[in-house]
Amino acid sequence: MMSDAYILMVIGMGLVTFIPRWAPFFFLSNRNLPAWLVEWLDLIPASILSALLLPALITTGEPRKLMLLQSELLAAIPTFIFALKTRSLGGTVIVGMVMFYLAGKLF
Amino acid sequence: MSKLKSIVFEGVAAAWPICLGYIPLGFAFGVLAQKAGLGPVEIFLMSLLVFAGSSQFIAVSMLDCGAALMSIILTTFTVNLRHLLMSSALAVYFKKSSRKKLCLFSYGVTDESFAVNYSKLKTGKWDLGRSLVLNYTANMTWIVSTVAGGFGGQFIPAGAFGIDYALPAMFICLLVFQLNGLKYLFVALLAGIFAVSLSLVLTGNMYVVIASMLAATCGTVLHRFFEKLSSKRTNDE
């Protein structure tokens, strides 16, 4: 049986997750933005992808510690080169998985 | 192919790497949630209303430790604040789109759907319709796999076929797509260095937001500075 507290919690979690996702479309998408903001926003995807990815590759544990010798980083190198050469998303995903699987055999 | 058919087909086709990553992650979440005492209906409700992987994992582990309702909601807020940046970057591409459709779309903005949609939008061959299909394909996959995991099945053994690396590999490729010039390479390197350093000293994942905002700000300021410098030089000549 689901408790009222759980339903309340999930609704609260949903709201605080939805608002940051939605607000930029409401406030930014129907107006002309200043050039510096457009330039800044153009740099956000490259920064955010790198900020999500790099800690996952070279840190581990909780609290996080630096860890260079691990499958995540080892597999990333050939995967990165493959992505650079082929620019194929599907191919990179498959190659990455195979490399990670193989790297796992080493550690 | 009719127009609608091709929109649906292309949206679903672009979503497959995301789904490949969501399936084992969803199972793992479902199994964990079940161990924390949540039933399939409760899991379904959380995946439907929240739809944000890492915050759902954190919420379940906090529930398991008996954390208070408000602290779980507040944690969810800080963990998911990074979507504010992603939606802002996407908003530039959706000028003149209907508010209703954007509302439907924004529900599905995740790290993964953002990264794929953004790189597709940048090519100019992508639109809100296809982005919506991609988001809801990923969303459906997430809901189904979390609920399936909640029925007690780790249907894919942990670590099998390197499937845990599907999403990191996807991010590697999408990052490569973004590195169109020195400016982007510089900013990405900077963001990576900031993120790693901050992640070692801060708990939680606020380091993502702080590092990317810092790096993008440095990039914008430096680029504008060098542009001014070079335009001054051409004026002097």
Whole-Å CA distances, B3 to B9, B120, B130: 10, 18, 11
Is residue B131, in this structure, part of any structural domain at all?
Answer: yes
Task: Give pLDDT, residue B158.
Answer: 67
Rounded to a whole number of angstroms, the CA Rg of chain B reads 20
* A chain contacts of residue B88, beta-carbon cutoff 8 Å: 24, 28, 41, 44
Q: For B62-86, how does the pLDDT look when each residue is reduced to its tens digit (9 = 90+)?
A: 898 888 899 999 999 998 999 999 9
Q: Judging by beta carbons within 10 Å of its beta carbon (0-12, 13-18, 19+), is residue B65 exposed, middle or buried?
A: exposed
Same domain, B123 and B228: no
Q: Take residue A55 and report the two structure tokens written for it.
A: 């800690």
ipTM above 0.90, yes or no: yes
Q: For residue B16, how far is the Cα from the chain centroid? A: 15
* Residue A59 backbone phi and psi in degrees, to 5: -125, 165
> What pLDDT sits at residue B1?
61
Q: Distance between alpha carbon B60 and the CA centroid of its chain, in Å?
A: 20
Q: Please state, for a pLDDT cut of 70, what percent of chain B lies above it.
A: 97
pLDDT tops 70 at residue B33: yes
For chain B, the average pLDDT equals 92
Same domain, B84 and B34: yes
Q: Within a domain: residue B228?
A: yes
Q: Are residues B98 and B39 in the same domain?
A: yes
- Average pLDDT score, chain A: 93
Nearest to B110 by CA among B150, B147, B130, B137: B137
Indicate whether B187 and B158 sit together in one domain: no
Q: Do A13 and B177 touch (CB under 8 A)?
A: no
Determine the distance in angstroms separating the CA of A27 from the nearest CA of chain B, rounded to an integer.
9
Confirm or reject contact between B13 and chain A (CB < 8 A): no
Q: Does B190 touch chain A (CB under 8 A)?
A: yes
Q: Is B176's pLDDT higher than 50?
A: yes
Asked whether residue B107 falls in the same domain as residue B21, the answer is yes
Q: What is the pLDDT of residue B161?
A: 79
Q: How confident is the model at residue B11 (pLDDT cuts 50, 70, 90)?
A: very high
pLDDT of B237 reads 64
B170 in any annotated domain:
no
**Is residue B173 in a domain?**
no
| Domain boundary, last residue among B128, B163, B198 | B163
Q: What is the pLDDT of residues B82-140, one digit of tens each?
A: 999 999 999 999 988 899 999 999 999 999 999 999 999 999 999 999 999 999 999 99
Q: How far is A69 from chain B (nearest CA, A)?
A: 15
CA angle at B74 for the pair B71 and B75, rounded to the nearest 5°: 85
* Final residue in a domain of this structure, among B163, B198, B223: B163
Q: Is residue B159 part of a domain?
A: yes
- Determine the Cα–Cα distance for residues A30 and B47; give it in Å rounded to an integer: 30
Find all residues with CB under 8 Å of B90, minimum gap 6, and list them. A24, A25, B109, B114, B117, B118, B121
Distance from CA of A88 to the nearest CA of B (A): 8
What's the mean pLDDT in A17-29?
A: 95
Helix H or strand E segment including B124 = none
Q: Do A13 and B73 touch (CB under 8 A)?
A: yes
Burial class (CB in 10 A: 0-12, 13-18, 19+), B69: middle
Give pLDDT tens digits for A51-83. Answer: 999 999 999 988 899 999 999 999 999 999 999
Residue A42: the pLDDT is 94
Q: How many residues does chain B have?
A: 237
B55 shares its domain with B150: yes
Pair B147, B218 in one domain:
no
**In this complex, do B168 and A23 lie within 8 Å of one another by their Cβ atoms?**
no
Per-residue b or e along B126-142, where b marks 16 or more CB atoms closer than 10 Å to that residue's CB? bbbbbbbbbbbbbbebb
Residue B27 domain boundaries: 3-163
Is B64 an interface residue toward A (CB < 8 Å)?
no
Distance, CA of B137 to CA of B195 (rounded, Å): 30
pLDDT at B162: 85
Instruction: Return the pLDDT at A30.
Output: 80
How far is B3 from chain A, CA to nearest CA, in Å? 24
Chain B: residue whose CA lies nearest to A26: B99
pLDDT above 90: residue B160:
no
**Any domain includes B53:** yes
B206 touches chain A (CB under 8 A): no
Residues 6+ apart with CB under 8 A from A36: B220, B224
Domain boundary residue, one of B133, B163, B193: B163
What is the pLDDT at residue A1? Answer: 45
- Angle at which helices A35-58 and A71-86 pack, to 10 degrees? 130
Burial of A40 (C-beta count, 10 Å sphere; 0-12/13-18/19+): buried
Q: How many domains, chain B?
A: 2
Regarding whether B94 and B38 lie in a shared domain, the answer is yes
Tell me, yes or no, whether B230 and B113 share the same domain: no
- B237: closest CA of chain A, how far (Å): 27
Domain annotation covers residue B104: yes
Is position B172 within any domain? no
Pair B155, B198 in one domain: no
Q: Give A62's DSSP letter.
A: T
Q: How many CB atoms lie within 10 A of CB B228?
A: 10
B31 and B59 both lie in a single domain: yes
Q: Is B158 on the interface with A (CB under 8 A)?
A: no
* pLDDT recorded at residue A63: 86
**Residue B16 scores a pLDDT above 60:** yes
The answer for A 5-64 residues in CB contact with B (under 8 A) is 5-14, 16-18, 20-26, 28-30, 33, 36, 38-59, 63-64
Residue type at B55?
Answer: S
List all residues 6 or more positions away from B225 whose beta carbon is below 8 Å from its beta carbon: none
- The reply to whether B156 and B185 lie within a common domain is no
Q: Which residue would you say has higher pLDDT here, B227 or A12?
A: A12
